[in-house]
Amino acid sequence: MALQIVRALLDDLHSNDISYCHWKSNEHVEAAMNGDTDLDILFDPSQEDKVVEILKRNKFHLFEAVWYRKYKGIFDYIGFDKAQGKIVHVHTHFHLDIGEVGIKSYRMPWERMILENKVFNERLKIFTSSAETELLLLIVRTAFKHDVLDTQSNHSISRHFKVEAAWLYGQVDTKKLVVLSEQVLGGEMTGLVEQICLGKNYDEKLFVALKKHLKPYFAEHRILSTQRVNYLKLVHFVYRVRIKLRKLFRISTRTPKRSLPQKGVVLCLMGSDGAGKSTQTKSLTAELSKKVDVLFMYMGSGDGAKSLQRQIVERCIQLGARLGASKKSKTKTSFQQEENNSKNDISRFSFPKQFLLSIKAASLAFEKKNRLKRIQKERNRGCIVICDRYPQTTTLGYNDGPKLYCNITSTNIILKFLAQYEFNCYELAKKIYPDIVIKLTGSVDVLHTRRPEMTKEEISKKQDGIIKLQFDPPTEVLNIDIDQPVCEIRGRIMDELSHQITVISGAVVGPSLY
């Protein structure tokens, strides 16, 4: 079953007489239409402007691949299906480029032949390449990828070929394949193609022989020099080593995928405890990171990821509190309990306790300031940033607002300085603002069943505070009732994300077709 956004796109292509076909891995075309893998679609180059207009009209947005994987005539359009809350990648080809693994050094001038031999899948209502065309392309692509110096890569290539070819062998008419191959490759190479087809296996010698003929045959269609290819191979190697080293030392790493060409989008989720913020942020991050660059940023003060400096500060404070508590009566309230019971006002404590709590709050503020700067950096890079909570200065003492507000006018210079420092860190959120704020709200009774350790009054106060939070333009605010399936909530959020990308890109599009 095709996603609504994919079905609408295909119907629009058909109604506008766009010449296209899904040109490879047609065994998985249904999965691609359901957003589970890429849609690799070849279009007639002469219709490029019209195709781009249709893609934009159907809420597909242009993303750019990382620089060493970017090629002319090949584009990445990303859509977000509202009904299922899934991301869709249309790998848009106006040219076909082939070459070594991860590097496309030759242009294949077969676009017209592929489109002329396309077939229509009646069940799925989509044009695909014919079985003969797909197998011929698979053989040629596999031959180009073979590398005599990289046995590990060759093993992976042969395994991939066997899987895809096994599905095609039963559908291919060998005579048609031979005729097609003679038209584009000539007799000598066609003999090798026929042997590969009839052998129904990966014969390395045949592919090596075919590659020797293919390279001079495609010489006039070379788009990257030998020096450039070697340089890109080195870049790929360095990136692979870097990723392995970071994994070895357990350093978090993100493999660059695709980013927005203008600037990214910062999306923030807010809600009372039990509203599902963490569930949705994790779900969104997992879904979007399949295809595009995504940064998840925890901006709260609870059990989320903590910076190293904050961990050190809190450990030192905990140690000091324990040493101090051991010298006092056991009947007295612990430092942690006093902190929890006085989140909105610490001024009633003695100076030593106020000082410790102020150091802890300043450490948190410093962390938030650094994370806000990271958010801005990633937004400028074209990344989608998803935030669980966001600092604000409207509601003081809770809902991720400043904790030391009561000491801003303190007569104690140290406490006043720490309170002012904290407030200034939180004020940065007004300059580095979110593009979208999603407020997840629901009935207090439902939230209480999810967080029974909190009183209904506490939940109601937090939710009312979030509802009353105001954000200045251009931040857009969307209120979503949590009494819906998780995928529906995610779909609404992704639809708002799609709208925001359109606004940022300045694209003028028509009404949605679904």
Q: Is residue 238 part of a domain?
A: no
Q: Is residue 214 part of a domain?
A: yes
Per-residue confidence (pLDDT) for residue 251, from 0 to 100: 77
Element containing residue 8 per DSSP (H, E): helix 4-15
* Mean pLDDT lowest among 136-145, 193-202, 377-386, 502-511: 502-511
Domain residue limits at 454: 261-307+364-483
150 — pLDDT class (breaks 50, 70, 90):
confident
- The DSSP string of 427-487 is HHHHHS--SEEEEEE--HHHHHHH-TTS-HHHHHHHHHHHHH----TT-EEEEEESSS-HH
Element containing residue 196 per DSSP (H, E): helix 187-199
The answer on 288 and 222 residing in a single domain is: no
The answer on 207 and 125 residing in a single domain is: yes
Per-residue confidence (pLDDT) for residue 341, from 0 to 100: 52
Cα–Cα distance measured from residue 441 to residue 280, given in angstroms and rounded to the nearest whole number: 13
Query: Residue 5 is which amino acid?
Result: I
* Mean pLDDT lowest among 112-126, 221-235, 369-383, 396-410: 396-410
Among candidate residues 496, 500, 499, the one with its CA nearest the CA of residue 511 = 499
Q: Is the pLDDT of residue 324 over 70?
A: no
Per-residue confidence (pLDDT) for residue 248, from 0 to 100: 84
The answer on 173 and 297 residing in a single domain is: no
Q: Is residue 11 part of a domain?
A: yes
The answer on 221 and 167 residing in a single domain is: yes
The answer on 297 and 225 residing in a single domain is: no
Q: Is residue 268 part of a domain?
A: yes
Per-residue confidence (pLDDT) for residue 137, from 0 to 100: 97
Q: Is residue 288 part of a domain?
A: yes
The answer on 78 and 164 residing in a single domain is: yes
446 — pLDDT class (breaks 50, 70, 90):
confident
Q: Classify residue 243 by burial, with Cβ atoms within 10 Å: 0-12, 13-18, 19+.
A: middle
For the record, the structure tokens of 462 come out as: 């937090």
Cα–Cα distance measured from residue 455 to residue 328, given in angstroms and rounded to the nearest whole number: 31
Q: Is the pLDDT of residue 328 over 60?
A: no
- Domain CATH number, residue 278: 3.40.50.300
Whole-structure pTM value? 0.89
As a whole-number percent, the residues of the chain with pLDDT over 90 amount to 63
Q: Is the pLDDT of residue 4 over 90?
A: yes
Pairing of strands 265-271, 384-388: parallel
Q: Is residue 256 part of a domain?
A: no
The answer on 175 and 89 residing in a single domain is: yes
Q: Is residue 402 part of a domain?
A: yes
Per-residue confidence (pLDDT) for residue 513, from 0 to 100: 32
Q: Is the pLDDT of residue 221 over 90?
A: yes
Q: Is the pLDDT of residue 496 over 90?
A: yes
**Number of domains composing the chain:** 2
Mean pLDDT of the chain: 89
Q: How far is CA 427 from CA 109, 276, 368, 396, 433, in A?
A: 57, 26, 11, 12, 10
Among candidate residues 43, 240, 229, 51, the one with its CA nearest the CA of residue 145 = 229
φ, ψ for residue 379, nearest 5 deg: -65, -40
Region 409-415: mean pLDDT is 89
SS3 35: coil
The answer on 406 and 295 residing in a single domain is: yes
The answer on 80 and 137 residing in a single domain is: yes
The answer on 402 and 456 residing in a single domain is: yes
Higher pLDDT, 202 or 320: 202
Higher pLDDT, 351 or 81: 81
For the record, the structure tokens of 321 come out as: 């509190």
The answer on 279 and 167 residing in a single domain is: no
Are residues 439 and 479 in contact, defined by beta-carbon separation less than 8 angstroms? yes
The answer on 221 and 113 residing in a single domain is: yes
Region 397-401: mean pLDDT is 78
Region 393-407: mean pLDDT is 83
Q: Is residue 248 part of a domain?
A: no
